[in-house]
């Protein structure tokens, strides 16, 4: 949306990914700010996302040659410039009029893979067109690809039609969201909705009338009938896979038990995520779930690709997740904030900041390529102490 508040600080003063948050708050209308910054209930899930990264420390190695670095990373056979990608985010038109096509252009310029949400402000075809146009401008030198995040609607005919559109448009993989049987209680949104109702004295609208996407959600955490299927089960993966006929990732896995089931059902990847802290109250962070997998089902790392998402604000932390076995890390809100405040330049600047931190830390950690990362390069004891453990059988008296 057009900036209606004040000008953000100069882009040059954004030296960390966190700096974009204050810049976005300065320009976003209150309704848009509440939507993107809000989390479930008291915010405990979001707090865990942000804080758990700091509970893991590095164990750097010295006297190793790091004169040349290789930061490239493959996601489902698609090589990207870095081991992080842009996470799926809905309704980006409320952040910037360029919306998802602008985000795709910025990510393509930097060689980043991007997951595009079902809940876009622009059509999935327009977003792909922007990506392909940018690729042509770059003479197809960017390794960037677009993936698609699927919210499965109740109507199976609509669901299959959407999957076919995604396939026809050229998206490389399907990321099925599995943690939205209902929308979480986004407390700040609830307060805003209540105040709007009091101020206007009218019934709430269910959709943003400016949306150009029939599959777009209500803005501000309002549910739309039929948009999310509470009856989605593991058995549905069979018809989804048949319709898609390509790589499938399950987005929103939060326990090692469900990773086992994902392997059994033959998907190619899982995204460990609690939906940015916006769904279930007191959810585990993706890092905590990653440690569960390392402890109780390490074979999973050889059976599918495992991504983590949630709370990352420093490129150095990407390496912590990779040391523990993750394939790549998703970054969400920093890109939303960067785009809201600075548009295309913000997307590029956010990538440069995270990439520089990644490269600096690689050198000081003593690795020149990502395949040199090992679990012993991090100390995750503090998180392990808080990790879930199966209940031990009680001894018979």
- Residue 208 pLDDT > 80, yes or no? no
Mean pLDDT of the chain: 91
Contact 116, 150 (CB under 8 A): no
**Strand locations in 59-159 (E):** 73-75, 78-80, 84-86, 114-117, 146-150
- 3-class state of residue 48 by DSSP: helix
| Phi, then psi, of 165 in degrees rounded to 5 | -65, -45
Nearest to 247 by CA among 232, 264, 267: 267
Q: What is the pLDDT of residues 227-251, one digit of tens each?
A: 788 889 999 999 999 999 999 999 9
Q: Is 278 annotated as a binding residue?
A: yes
Between 3 and 197, the more confident residue is: 197
- 52: closest CA among 281, 280, 381? 381
Cα–Cα distance measured from residue 310 to residue 92, given in angstroms and rounded to the nearest whole number: 18
d(CA 321, CA 307): 9
Catalytic residue among 96, 113, 275, 281: 275
Nearest to 312 by CA among 109, 83, 44, 139: 83
Alpha helices in the chain (DSSP H): 19-27, 30-37, 44-52, 99-109, 124-137, 156-169, 187-200, 236-244, 256-264, 286-296, 315-323, 333-365, 381-386
Q: Which CATH number fits domain 11-386: 1.10.3720.10, 3.40.50.2300, 3.20.20.70, 3.40.50.970?
A: 3.20.20.70
Give CA–CA dist 222/117, Å, rounded.
17
Compute, in degrees rounded to 10, the torsion defined by CA atoms 149, 155, 157, 158: -50
- Is 93 labelled a binding residue? no
| Residue 353 CB neighbours (<10 A) | 22
Domain map of the chain by residue range? 11-386
pTM of the entire predicted model: 0.91
167 is in an annotated binding site: no
**pLDDT at 213 > cutoff 90:** no
Could you read off the pLDDT of 268-291 as tens digits, one per residue? 999 999 988 787 888 899 999 999
Q: Is 370 helix (H, G, I), strand (E, B) or coil?
A: helix
Residue 313 among known ligand-binding residues: yes
pLDDT tens for each residue of 336-388: 999 999 999 999 999 999 999 999 999 999 999 999 999 999 999 999 999 99
In terms of Cα–Cα distance, which of 233, 229, 235, 294 is closest to 259?
294
275 has catalytic annotation: yes
Ligand-binding annotation for 277, yes or no, is no
Both tokens of 210, joined, read: 């400016």
| Residue among 1, 44, 34, 4 nearest 192 (CA) | 34
Note whether 53 and 308 are within 8 A (CB): no
Determine the Cα–Cα distance for residues 106 and 359; give it in Å rounded to an integer.
20
Question: What is the C-alpha to C-alpha distance for residues 114 and 118, in angstroms, rounded to an integer?
Answer: 13
SS3 55: helix
The reply to whether 171 sits in an annotated binding site is no
Eight-state DSSP code of residue 89: -
**Is there a contact between 324 and 291 (Cβ–Cβ < 8 Å)?**
yes
pLDDT tens for residues 173-192? 999 999 987 777 878 778 88
Is there a binding annotation on residue 126? no
Q: Residue 137: its pLDDT value, please? A: 97
How far is residue 197's CA from residue 268's CA, in Å, rounded to a whole number? 45
């Amino acid at each position: 949306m057009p900036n209606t508040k004040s000008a953000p600080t100069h882009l040059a003063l954004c030296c960390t990914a966190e700096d974009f948050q204050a810049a976005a708050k300065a320009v976003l209308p209150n309704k848009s700010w509440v939507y993107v910054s809000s989390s479930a209930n008291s915010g405990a899930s979001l707090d865990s996302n942000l804080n758990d990264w700091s509970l893991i420390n590095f164990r750097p190695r010295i006297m190793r040659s790091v004169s040349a670095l290789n930061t490239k990373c493959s996601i489902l056979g698609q090589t990207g410039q870095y081991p992080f990608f842009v996470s799926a985010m809905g309704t980006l038109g409320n952040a910037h009029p360029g919306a998802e096509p602008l985000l795709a252009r910025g990510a393509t310029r930097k060689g980043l893979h991007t997951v595009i949400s079902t809940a876009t402000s622009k059509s999935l075809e327009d977003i792909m067109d922007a990506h392909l146009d940018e690729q042509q401008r770059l003479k197809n030198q960017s390794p960037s690809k677009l993936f698609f995040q699927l919210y499965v609607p109740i109507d199976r005919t609509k669901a299959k039609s959407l999957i076919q559109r995604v396939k026809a448009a050229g998206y490389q993989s399907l990321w099925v969201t599995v943690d939205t049987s209902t929308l979480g209680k986004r407390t700040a949104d609830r307060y805003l909705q209540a105040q709007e109702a009091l101020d206007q004295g009218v019934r709430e609208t269910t959709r943003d009338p400016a949306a150009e996407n029939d599959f777009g959600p209500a803005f501000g955490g309002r549910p739309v009938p039929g948009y999310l299927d509470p009856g989605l089960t593991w058995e549905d993966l069979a018809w989804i896979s048949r319709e898609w006929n390509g790589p499938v990732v399950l987005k929103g896995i939060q326990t090692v038990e469900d990773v086992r089931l994902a392997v059994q059902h033959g998907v190619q990847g899982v995204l460990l995520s609690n939906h940015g802290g916006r769904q279930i109250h007191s959810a585990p962070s993706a890092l905590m779930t990653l440690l569960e997998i390392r402890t109780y089902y390490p074979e999973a790392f050889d059976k599918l690709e495992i991504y983590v998402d949630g709370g990352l604000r420093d490129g150095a932390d990407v390496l912590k997740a990779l040391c523990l076995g993750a394939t790549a890390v998703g970054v969400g809100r920093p890109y939303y904030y960067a785009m809201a405040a600075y548009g295309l330049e913000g997307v590029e600047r956010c990538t440069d900041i995270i990439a520089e931190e990644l490269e600096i830390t690689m050198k000081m950690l003593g690795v020149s390529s990502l395949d040199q990362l090992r679990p012993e390069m991090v100390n995750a004891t503090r998180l392990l102490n808080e990790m879930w453990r199966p209940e031990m059988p009680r001894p018979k008296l």
